[in-house]
């Protein structure tokens, strides 16, 4: 199950995304760093979906909606800050 | 102009990746997920990626490096116990994988395969 982390956010695309936001053109991310960042972003995505899903279930909804996600955002931001 | 297209491409790639993870997770819960919900999470992740990039660059610069490495990520997640553990393990696994690729000496795993013949 853990290996799925490597796949969702592709290392190369993530490297480029990070590079796009760097201020210094010399700055780059190693492969390891990119994979670890991918892991963090995937965990955050899963956690957001899981928490929003619990809110949806509590409202007897079979579909996760924007309003459910909005409810869990504040605590999620704190947990990942 | 090219810069805007490049950023758009990266953003679309990010949105796609997030959508896939969201839908898989929702499916495992037996729930559907509307586009507005995955878009909201995608936007969050996109913004987070920018924040992360900025922080990582600062950490590496502070250590007088141009290349961001595993130590910088560990510093990034220092406040979150679970993430810290996960990432330390991941870093170890990647280190081991690189070591065993480099050396031609058989590892214990190789011997285990031979025994089973």
Backbone angles phi, psi at B67, to 5 degrees: -105, 125
Q: Which domain holds residue A74?
A: 30-79
pLDDT at residue B117 greater than cutoff 60: no
What string of DSSP letters covers B32-81?
Answer: EE-HHHHHHHHHHHHHHHHHHHHHHHHHHHHTT-SEE-HHHHHHHTTT-H
Chain B residue with the nearest C-alpha to that of A68:
B37
Tally of structural domains, chain A: 1
Pairwise CB contact (< 8 Å): A18 & B53: yes
Asked whether residue A63 carries a pLDDT value surpassing 80, the answer given is: yes
The verdict on A66 touching B (C-beta cutoff 8 Å) is yes
**Protein fold of B1-76:** Histone, subunit A (1.10.20)
Task: Judge: A65–B61 Cβ closer than 8 Å, yes or no.
Answer: no
**Measured between alpha carbons, how far is B41 from B49 in angstroms, rounded to an integer?**
12
pLDDT digits (tens, 9 = 90+) for B26-64: 999 999 999 999 999 999 999 999 999 999 999 999 999
Question: Are B37 and A41 in contact (CB < 8 Å)?
Answer: no
Given a contact cutoff of 8 angstroms between Cβ atoms, the answer to whether A68 and B38 are in contact is no
Average pLDDT over residues B8-25: 96
Q: How many CA atoms lie within 13 A of A53 on its CB side?
A: 19
Interchain contact A7–B (C-beta under 8 A): no
Q: Give the ipTM of the model, two decimals please.
A: 0.91
Q: What's the pLDDT tens digit per position in A27-62?
A: 999 999 999 999 999 999 999 999 999 999 999 999
């Amino acid at each position: 199950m853990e290996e799925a982390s490597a796949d969702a956010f592709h290392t190369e695309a993530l490297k480029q995304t990070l590079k796009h936001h760097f201020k210094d053109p010399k700055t780059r991310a190693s492969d390891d760093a990119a994979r670890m960042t991918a892991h963090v972003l995937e965990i955050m995505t899963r956690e957001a979906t899981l928490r929003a899903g619990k809110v949806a279930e509590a409202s007897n909804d079979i579909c996760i909606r924007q309003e459910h996600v909005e409810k869990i955002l504040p605590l999620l931001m704190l947990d990942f800050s | 102009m090219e810069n805007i297209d490049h950023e758009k491409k990266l953003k679309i790639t990010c949105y796609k990746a997030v959508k896939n993870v969201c839908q898989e997770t929702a499916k495992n819960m037996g729930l559907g997920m509307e586009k507005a919900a995955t878009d909201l999470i995608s936007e969050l992740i996109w913004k987070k990626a920018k924040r992360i990039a900025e922080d990582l660059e600062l950490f590496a610069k502070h250590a007088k490096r141009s290349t961001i490495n595993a130590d910088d990520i560990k510093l990034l997640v220092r406040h979150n116990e679970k993430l810290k553990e996960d990432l330390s393990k991941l870093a170890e696994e990647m280190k081991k994988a690189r070591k065993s690729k480099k050396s031609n000496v058989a590892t214990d795993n190789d011997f285990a395969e031979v025994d089973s013949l």
